[in-house]
Amino acid sequence: MTMPKIRRSQAERVRDSENALYGATIKLIARVGPSKMTVADIGREAGLSPAQVTHRFGSKSNLLYATVRRILELWVEELTQPVIAEDGLQRLETAGHIYLKAITHRSDLLLAQARLTVESHSSYAELQPVIREFNQQARETTVHLLTPLQAKGEIDAEVDLESFAIMYLGMMRGVASQYLVDSQNVDLNAVYDFIKIACRKVLLNESRK
């Protein structure tokens, strides 16, 4: 007996089409960059018409703007559960390992984020406000991760966590940018060992002891 097909609600259809659009956009940005990607390409990849893409976002720039925010949401989803489950500074190390894996596998999420950041300095300068917002939230997430540890005395009370977050994200992204263009000469595991040592020295304020 054939089971009757369950009809999706309007809200479910909208959600599914948006997820398809974001997924297609992230994949295409990772592959060819935002400048070479067209609305027709996005629609084709998502299984939608160009008119549907335009109807939802109005313009390609609006879609890119929204995609930056979606990328941040996906990073938070990917990091939150495994990181919160850890204790002490292992939280930071777990977050780093997840990012390291994304670098090694050249994940669409990582590549799309990198390409959008670069393009915000040239072809898509209108993305700079949302890229700044993205970076600010990434720093705030790092601070939020470490604040309870500082309150418990596991991180030195004198450490400025906001400045640390800037340093940490800068190191991780800098390593990623080098690896993506010269993977044969960048030993990610060896470099990450140095990053962990540096982070512990800063967070425990060992230079003052």
Residue 110 lies in a domain: yes
Comparison of pLDDT for 78 and 1, the residue scoring more: 78
Q: Looking at residue 2, what is its pLDDT?
A: 59
Residue 58 lies in a domain: no
Q: Which amino acid is at 208?
A: R
Residue 81 lies in a domain: yes
Q: Which of 111, 117, 141 is nearest to 130 (CA)?
A: 117
- Residue 3 clears pLDDT 70, i.e. is over it: no
- Residue 180 clears pLDDT 70, i.e. is over it: yes
Q: Looking at residue 8, what is its pLDDT?
A: 65
Residue 199 lies in a domain: yes
Chain centroid, CA 18 distance in Å: 18
Residue 54 lies in a domain: no
- Residue 132 clears pLDDT 90, i.e. is over it: yes
Is the Cβ–Cβ distance between 137 and 143 less than 8 Å? no
Residue 2 lies in a domain: no
Q: CA-CA distance, 122 to 111, in Å (whole number)?
A: 17
Residue 39 lies in a domain: no
Q: Which of 75, 120, 126 is nearest to 102 (CA)?
A: 75
Q: pLDDT class for 5, splitting at 50, 70, 90?
A: low
In sequence order, which ranges of 105-184 are alpha helices (DSSP H)?
A: 108-119, 128-151, 161-181
Residue 168 sits in which domain range? 66-208
Q: CA-CA distance, 203 to 98, in Å (whole number)?
A: 20
- Residue 174 clears pLDDT 70, i.e. is over it: yes
Q: Looking at residue 17, what is its pLDDT?
A: 86
Residue with tokens 């979606």: 70
- What percentage of the chain reaches a pLDDT higher than 70? 94
Residue with tokens 């800037």: 166
Residue 161 lies in a domain: yes
- 3-12, 66-75, 81-90, range with greatest mean pLDDT: 66-75
Segment 154-165 shows an average pLDDT of 96
Output the six-digit token pair for 167: 């340093």
| 6: CB partners within 8 A, 6+ apart | none
Count of structural domains, the chain? 1
Q: Which letter does DSSP use for residue 154 in this model?
A: S
CB atoms within 10 A of CB 98: 14
Q: Looking at residue 6, what is its pLDDT?
A: 63
- Residue 4 clears pLDDT 60, i.e. is over it: no
pLDDT, one tens digit per residue, over 12-70 is 777 888 999 999 999 999 999 999 999 999 999 999 998 989 988 999 999 999 999 99
Full-model pTM:
0.86
Q: CA-CA distance, 39 to 59, in Å (whole number)?
A: 9
Look up the CATH number of the domain holding residue 157. Answer: 1.10.357.10
